[in-house]
Each structure stands twice: as C-alpha cells, then as structure tokens.
Amino acid sequence: MLYVKIALIKQDLKHKTTQTMRLRKLISFATEAITAGLAFAFVLLLLFKPEAFEGRPTVEFVEAPASQVGTADTGMISYARAVETAAPAVVNVYTRKVIAQRSNPLFDDPFFRRFFGDRIPAPQKQMENSLGSGVIVNDQGFILTNNHVISDADEIEVLLHDGRSTAAAIVGADPESDLAILKIELPDIPSIIFGHSESLRVGDVVLAIGNPFGVGQTVTSGIVSATGRSQLGLSTFENFIQTDAAINPGNSGGALINTAGQLVGINTAIFSRSGGSQGIGFAIPVSLAKGVMKQIIEYGRALRGWLGVEVQDLSPSLAESFGLGEMGGALIAGVQAEGPAASAGLQPGDVISQVNGNGINGSRSLMDAIANNAPGTVLSLNVFRQGQQLQIETIIGERPQPQE
C-alpha cells in the first residue's frame, strides 16, 4: 500500500515537471518573438524615420482640398474676383518718340556755332521708348490714361490683357488734369465698370493695376490714405486720392479699383526719394476723370469755366487791412480786359467770398468753383468792395487751352 502511494506521487511530480518545462519553452519562444519584432521595428524606424533619433520634431498638418484654397467661400480675404473683373480692361501703353540729339552738347553753344557754322554736324535722331498703363472705358475702344504717358509720342502701341496688341490714336488730352484719351480698333474689347470715388473713405481697401517697370500686368493692394489732396504741384486741377498701394514707374494711367473690381481712380504719381514706391501714391478720382473724358470725346477738348481774373490768397494781414475779420475769400489782383469779369464790373481789390452761395477760401478754391461750371453758365458772386457787400452776376466764358 505504501509502495503504491509513492508511485503515484512520483507520477504526479513527473507530470508537473513536464508542464513546467512546456511553459518555460512557451515563455522563451514568446520572448524571442517579441524581441525579434522590436528589433525589426527599430530597423524600419531607423531607415524611414531617422529624425526620430536626432531630437527633431515631426511636422504634421492638415491640408485643405485644392478646390477651397484661397477662395472667398472659405471666409478668407481674397481680392481675386475684383482683379478678375477689372484686369482684362487694363492695358499696357508703349510709346515711341523721335528725339534729335547732338553728339556733343558744345555744338549747341552759340560760340561754337558762330565760328564753325555749317561744319557743326547735324543732330542725330534717336528713338526714345517709354511705358505706362491705361484703362479701356467702353466697348468702342476708348482708353483713359495720363497725359504725361503719351505726351509728344510719335507712335503708341497698346497691349491688351489677352495678348493682343494694336496701334492707338490720340483722341485728345488735357494737360491741366493730366488726362488723355486714346482709341483702338479691335473686336470684342473688354471694358471696366466705373465706381463712385466720392464715396471713398479713408481706410477703404483699394488695388492698383498697371505695368510697373515693364514687367507685365501687376496688382498691388493698400488702403485709401487720404482724399481731396491738392496743392501738390502735379497738375493745375488737383483732387487726388492718396493711397499706400504700391505705384511705380509704368503704373501711370493704370486703374485704382475697389474690392468690387470697379474703377475709382487713375494712378498718376508718387512721392519718392528713390524713384520707387514709398507708400505715397496719388490717383485722379474717377468723378473728375469721367467729366474730362466725356468732354474730350464729345468736343475734342476739356471745357471749363473762366472768369478772366488774376487772384491771390487772402492772408490774415490782408483780411485785416480790408476790414474783413474772419471772412474768407480770394482777392482779385487783376482783371483781364474784355473778359467775363470785366463785363460784370469786377475790379482789382475786390474780394470774392462766395460763388452761388458756396464759400471761397483761397485762389485755388475760386478757380475750381469757376472751372467746374460749363462756359455760358450764369454765376452769382458775393463780393466785398471798400467795406460794402455786393452781389454780382456774371456769365463765365471758356477757359483758354494751355499752350504746349
């Protein structure tokens, strides 16, 4: 009986030993498999992600679908639609001018000409090229640009946004506002939509489109920095929109548009020490350009009212000497014989304080008030003469065209 119990115990121990050995083999196999897997993963990571061992972060980002990038539908600010609306109507203007130039400036000296006479070589003719921009205003092919872009040009070529080019003819020009009208003959001509420059506010976003430095059509953006800028010495009649949108040589005559793609100004000039844009550019408001353009197309010239007087600003000391106190106005320094002012009885020493009930605060204010009316218009003038207030009516004439 004892022998049987010992045999059973041995058999049970043998069975447990066998199970232990199997468990050890299973654990050993699992450990080797895990170790091999980790080693394999390490090798893959080393091959394909070496930066993980160099202490550099992995850059991850979410990219939007290509169809949504930069579109207005996403709520992002983009002026692409405004540019798409206006850009086809903005053209590059290339001009050529033949100039005569002597090989040595001394040949123009009277002393040399006196002693050498006919032996002085004749001036050599050279072709001078310049560039600018313009805006097609209607499907008839009329183009609005600056007078200084096409002044004295012998040949004018216009390059459209779609790649077509053609010669252009000058319809007329107005040096006093620095505006000019060209005409081209092409089918299917795009044109721009006119906006309302008088509703512009300081801070409004505007875009300048033109051909700076001849690199091709370029768009720059900025804001309206100021309106009604004058007395800059750029032209006779000034009422400029100031903007910080980059305007460079070649932009002259190009479009200043709002965010709806509508024309609000004609880019004209910059203030710069370097010749490039420094954030101070000027554009002629479309409200002024429209009137000049209409007159040039219909009459061949700009029609402005004219009074026929020489005026000067009324300084505080002059106002005091005339006994005017705080009253503003413009002092008549001279009256042209047989002019509208002379016919109305105006005299030197008169002070014009109002035109049709609108106050006058200087010589330029008076000139603008008269010029903004068509020739033949009857104007009512409030005049201060030797301590008396007079009301004089006059029929204004046409302002003489400036001499070239």
**Residues forming the active site:** 148, 178, 252
Q: Distance between CA atoms of 46 and 58, rounded to whole angstroms? A: 14
Amino acid at the residue 349: G
Amino acid code (one letter) for 217: Q
State the CB neighbour count (10 A cutoff) for residue 89: 25
Q: How many CA atoms lie within 13 A of 381 on its CB side?
A: 27
C-beta of residue 229 within 8 angstroms of C-beta of residue 215: no
What is the longest distance spanned by two Cα atoms in the chain? 160
Q: Are 186 and 140 in contact (CB under 8 A)?
A: no
